[in-house]
Amino acid sequence: MQTLKFKTNVNCGGCIANVTPHLNKLSGIDKWSVDTTTPQKVLTVESADLTADAIIETLKLAGFRGEVIE
C-alpha cells in the first residue's frame, strides 16, 4: 500500500462532489480524501498499484489540476 499526496485546486464541497465520481471509478484506490482547509488543497490517495500519473490524469478529466507533493 502506498500513500500519494497531491497539491490540487479542489477547493470546496462542490469541487469534491465533482471529482468524487471520477476518483471512485478508478480501480485500485482504497481510500482518498481532500483537505480543503490547507492552502495546497491536499488530495491524499491510498492505493496498492495506481501511479501518480493515473490520478493526475483522472483529476484533469474532472476539470482539476494535481501536482505530486514529495
Q: Residue 13: give its domain's CATH number.
A: 3.30.70.100
Provide the number of structural domains found in the chain. 1
70 has a pLDDT exceeding 90: no
Paired sense of beta strands 2-8 and 42-47, if any: antiparallel
DSSP 6-64: EEE---SHHHHHHHHHHHHHSTTEEEEEEETTSTT-EEEEEESS--HHHHHHHHHHTT-
**Looking at residue 28, what is its pLDDT?**
87
Query: pLDDT tens for residues 26-57?
Result: 888 999 999 999 999 999 999 988 999 999 99
- What is the domain extent for residue 15? 2-68
Average pLDDT over residues 5-21: 95
pTM of the predicted protein model: 0.92
Question: What are the two backbone dihedrals, phi and then psi, of residue 38, each rounded to the nearest 5 degrees?
Answer: -95, 150
